[in-house]
Structure 1
Amino acid sequence: MCIQQHKLTKVQHYFSSNFRLGVLGGGQLGRMLLAETQKLDIYTVILDASEDAPCARICNEFHQGDLLDFDTVYNFGKNVDLLTIEIENVNIEALDKLESEGIPVYPKPSNLRIIQNKAQQKKFYQQYNIPTADFMHYAYLEELKHSYQNSIIDFPFVWKSARFGYDGNGVKVVKDYSDLENLPEGECIAEQLVPFKNELAVIVARNKKGQVKTYPVVEMEFHPEANQVEYVICPARIDDTVAKKAREVALKVADAFDFVGLLAVEMFQTQDDQILVNEVAPRTHNSGHYSIEASYTNQFEQHVRSILDLPLGDTASKVAGIMVNLVGAEGHTGPVLYENIEEIMSIDGVTPHLYGKKITKPFRKMGHVTIVHENVDKARAIAQQVKETVKVISK
């Protein structure tokens, strides 16, 4: 009985208490995380550079500051009991110092240091025999050009900026020399162009005890111009043997990192049904938004459970789920207007999520819509209807 009481005390100190959960980043991922911390009455403190961040007016405590500034992140972290992220572009040196002074930081700074840099990510996969596309690493763009001129690489290939790529930025398919002309000069990789059947993703949840669970494999459909996810389809329309292989690879990645938190593993299914890891995100992810309506435990609640070393929840889906991203229409910048939201709300199984961003820009993520249905193909058809109906424009 004493042991049981001790365990209860250890768990319950997070809830309705003085415990302070710090989150670096106050965007839409933080906003959806807050819905779960509010359910559990966990006091949540947010740091973000923008005073108009989606979290700013709904968290328990908001601080405005630069996530890449050492002093800002360090001073923020000293005043919380545990620190997590909703975006990986943060000052790692500050997190190292906080961790050395006893502040728990999840995901771990050592993981973030690798994941922040796509070249280091790729080398990590090679080191741990994790399947990934072949690549070459360049310190600067001119070095890549010399590599082509000396017949070391050939077109086409995928250029990726080593750092700060996000939502389709920092990635370009290079088909000829002219495509290199307007690329940034900094560190990059040139990756083999993989002919693939599908782009897949698996979210892995892992707590400090080492308990681990995977969400079902999802299929992602991308906008051809913006290189952003347009649709996430769960379950992926693939063979069970391929799905099993994808989950095994995702687990291998999480184990190699000794990861604590939520890890989204993006993958290619090749023409011969091999699985290659593309890249990972060390946080809640666009590919898991469907889980709010479709899963027994959504990804945001699972993130809280994993970083606080609580029992992990059931990752199974109650029903098929499709997520449609709502992004700013081309040619529209300014105060946002969502056209025809009322029309889609009249369709059974359709739930809009708006992120609280007041200004729209072309391809800016402004919200998403979830469609749930017993039949995944029917859900996909409704998703198409939603995409064609809702317009995100400026007033």
Structure 2
Amino acid sequence: MLGGGQLGRMFIQEALNYDVHVHCLDPDADAPCRYLATSFQHGSLKDYDTVVQFGSNKDVVTVEIEHVNVEALHELENRGIKVFPQPGVLAIVQDKGLQKEFYLKNNLPTAEFMLVNGKEELISKNIPFPYVLKWRKGGYDGKGVQIMKSAADFDQLIDTPYVIEQMVPFTKELSVIVARNEAGESVVYPTVECEFSPVANLVEFLFSPAEISEEVEKKAREIALKVIDSLQMVGILAVELFLTADDEILINEIAPRPHNSGHHTIECCYTSQFEQHLRSIVNAPLGSTKLITPGVMINLLGEPGYEGIAKYENLEQVISREGVSVHLYGKQTTKPFRKMGHVTIYGPDLNELKTTGRIVAKELKIKA
């Protein structure tokens, strides 16, 4: 596995149940996977020789982050090593401009966009404000995404190629997790609703199932399946969507790996997204995606103003509640808005879970 963060850690926890040996490469010597992996190598995910050397004696190479050396993965594939998701898929996902062109080519709904080579060209176009600006490459977890409200915002920009999108007047942000194996079998999870923190620009709450009509649910699932089938991708894929007031669905972005919007599946579905990813890349039968129970997921982020050895306030108080599962990611140090863990709250009544979720989010604080 290229990457040894929390997604890899939760993947390993499922792989251990099948006695699958997972080896990790990560640029952080203290990455969360360090002590769980069968072996751990400290090294760059972007260095060609490092990635080729790491993957050359493995049965399957996969990723928990898309920012990796694609050329090295092509070389491993040429040597007969299975690489999932495929290097060609990762190349598309690494470049948001190629992503948008892929949607157009395959008649997949997405917001209107424009590709701009850099800051100077952007300024010269006099695009009416407001609009959304995204770096074509290198963005993640809200980094590289900016709402441009006036010319004053140009001062904050780095000079890099951009995707420019018109603002979408959405009513909900949705996500669908879908998986596909080598045999071409596909499964799709029930749609979830995401509520973002306006400060951190990260998912703060996730609600499963999404409170949407059956028609919207059907449409969202069909779009997600069409995306993964059009890519011919093997592995698990998150498809992030906008829902408009007239029930139109537009694709925002995709992520070819286990995703923040699928963490609730550990408790809430028959097959977690991490086990599903494992099944898909080893070409095993895919598991049931049915919900066992509704759920709410909360991201645990480092509190603003605190940096150092992590201290979890009110943890015992939180875990005393029925139907509350805490997942800490093994990161020893915290800093503002760093993803340190998540909490899943599950039970029969989604509205009650939402109420509990907002209480838990105020109680459980990560300081230093």
Under a length normalisation based on structure 1, what TM-score does the superposition of the two structures give? 0.92
**Residue type of the alignment partner of 2:279:** R
Partner of residue 42 from structure 2, selected from 64, 78, 88 = 64
Q: Which residue of 2 aligns with 1:50?
A: 28
| Deviation of 1:140 (Å) | 1.2
Structure 1 counterpart of 2:265, which letter?
Answer: S
Partner residue in 1 for 2:224: 250
Which one of 296, 312, 317 corresponds to residue 270 of structure 2? 296
Q: Which residue in 2 is equivalent to 1:115?
A: 93
| 1:271 match | 245
2 CA distance for matches of 1:54 and 1:300? 16
- Cα-to-partner distance string for 1:90-113 (whole Å, 9 max, x where unaligned): 000000111011010000000000
**Distance of 2:233 and 2:280 partners within structure 1:** 10
Answering whether residue 16 of structure 2 is matched by residue 38 of structure 1, we say yes
- In structure 1, the partner of 2:4 is 26
Tell whether 2:259 aligns with 1:285.
yes
Q: 1:331-342 residue pairs with structure 2 within 5 A?
A: 331-342=305-316
1:135 equivalent among 113, 118, 133: 113
Letter in 1 for 2:30: D
Amino acid at match of 1:242: V
* Match in the other structure for 1:373: 347
**CA deviation map 1:41-99 (0-9, x unaligned):** 01111000111000001111111100000000011010211100000000000001110
Pick which of 137-146 and 114-123 moved more: 137-146
1:391 aligns with 2:365: yes
Matched with 1:261 is 235
- Counterpart-to-counterpart distance in 2, 1:331 and 1:29: 26
2:104 — aligned with what? 126
Report SS of the residue matched to 2:82. coil
Distance 1:361 1:257 in 2: 37
Deviation per residue, 1:314-368 (Å, 9 max, x gap): 0011000110000001111111111001001011000000000111111110000
2:202 paired with 1:228: yes
- Percent identity between matched residues is 50
Per-residue Cα deviation, 1:303-322 (whole angstroms, up to 9, x for no partner): 00000100000001100011
Question: Match of 1:321?
Answer: 295
Matched residue type, 2:305: G
Q: CA deviation at 1:183?
A: 1.1
Partner of 1:382: 356
Partners of 2:142 and 2:73 in 1: CA distance: 27
> 1:335-374 to 2 correspondence within 5 Å?
335-374=309-348
In the TM superposition, residue 281 of structure 1 has moved relative to its aligned partner by 0.3
Residue 75 of structure 2 corresponds to 97
- Cα distance, 1:184 vs. partner? 1.2
> Which SS does the other structure have where 1:208 is aligned?
coil
Distance in 1 (alpha carbons) for counterparts of 2:227 and 2:36: 34
How many residues align? The count is: 368
1:200 aligned partner, one-letter code:
L
The CA distance in 2 between the partners of 1:291 and 1:137, in whole Å, is 36
Instruction: Indicate the SS of the match to 1:392.
Output: strand
* Offset of residue 169 of structure 1: 0.7
Q: What do the CA deviations read for 1:7-48 (whole angstroms, capped 9, x no partner)?
A: xxxxxxxxxxxxxxxx00000000000111111001111000
Q: Using the alignment, how far apart are the partners of 2:309 and 2:135 within structure 1?
A: 31
Give the number of the structure whose alpha-carbon radius of gyration is greater.
1
Q: Distance in 2 between matches of 1:305 and 1:295?
A: 15
The DSSP-based 3-state class of the residue aligned with 2:183 is: coil
* 1:144 counterpart residue number: 122
CA distance, structure 1, for counterparts of residue 212 and residue 356 of structure 2: 20
Summarize deviations over 1:189-242 as a string: whole Å, max 9, x none.
111100001000000010011100000000000001211000111000111111
The match for 1:241 among 200, 215, 232 is: 215
Q: 2:73 is paired with a residue of what secondary structure?
A: helix
- 1:271, distance to aligned residue in structure 2 (A): 1.2
TM-score, scaled relative to structure 2? 0.99
Measure, in 2, the Cα distance between the counterparts of 1:118 and 1:40: 35
Determine the structure 1 residue equivalent to 2:139: 165
Separation of aligned partners in 2, 1:39 and 1:329? 34
CA RMSD of aligned residues (A): 0.6
